[in-house]
């Protein structure tokens, strides 16, 4: 966690396929006519807690946030993240509790 601010991410623009392949992004959109995607300014990378009804609370580092219109007029905000345990994930932005820095949920506690 000492180097969380160095986590590769996408800032100020939408992600490309190269970003996703390089691990700077969790997803990219191949947009068709009438579809749009714009970056969401979250000061990335950003600590957050993902609230998942099945998995519970998971501390993550947000590496990407985009707001898009899929052509039907509905606008959705999607985030890409890295769990502390490794890997990569995608969720709706509303599922994240954004934090200014890691809190006690980011500290691994030994089993009691």
Residue-by-residue pLDDT tens, the chain, 112 positions: 788 999 999 999 999 999 999 999 999 987 666 667 889 999 999 999 999 888 889 999 999 999 987 666 677 899 999 999 899 999 999 999 999 999 999 987 655 5
What SS3 class is residue 89?
Answer: strand
Domains and CATH numbers, the chain: 4-101 (2.30.30)
- Its pTM stands at 0.88
Smallest CA-to-CA distance from 62 within 2, 19, 16, 11 is with 11
Q: Which pLDDT belongs to residue 32?
A: 62
Instruction: List the structure tokens of 89.
Output: 């994930």
Measured distance between the N- and C-terminal CA atoms of the chain, rounded to whole angstroms: 22
d(CA 76, CA 22): 25
Q: Which pLDDT belongs to residue 69?
A: 75
Q: Which pLDDT belongs to residue 13?
A: 93
CA 105 vs. chain centroid, Å, equals 17
């Amino acid at each position: 966690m000492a180097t969380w601010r160095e986590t590769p991410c996408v800032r100020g623009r939408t992600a490309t396929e190269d970003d996703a392949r390089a691990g700077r992004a969790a997803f990219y959109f191949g947009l068709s006519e009438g579809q749009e995607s714009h970056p969401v300014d979250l000061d990335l990378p950003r600590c957050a807690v993902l609230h998942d009804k099945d998995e519970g609370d998971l501390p993550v580092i947000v590496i990407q946030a985009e707001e898009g219109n899929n052509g039907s007029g509905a606008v959705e905000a999607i985030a890409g993240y890295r769990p502390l345990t490794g890997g990569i994930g995608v969720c709706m932005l509303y599922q994240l509790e954004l934090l200014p820095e890691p809190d006690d949920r980011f500290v691994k506690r030994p089993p009691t």
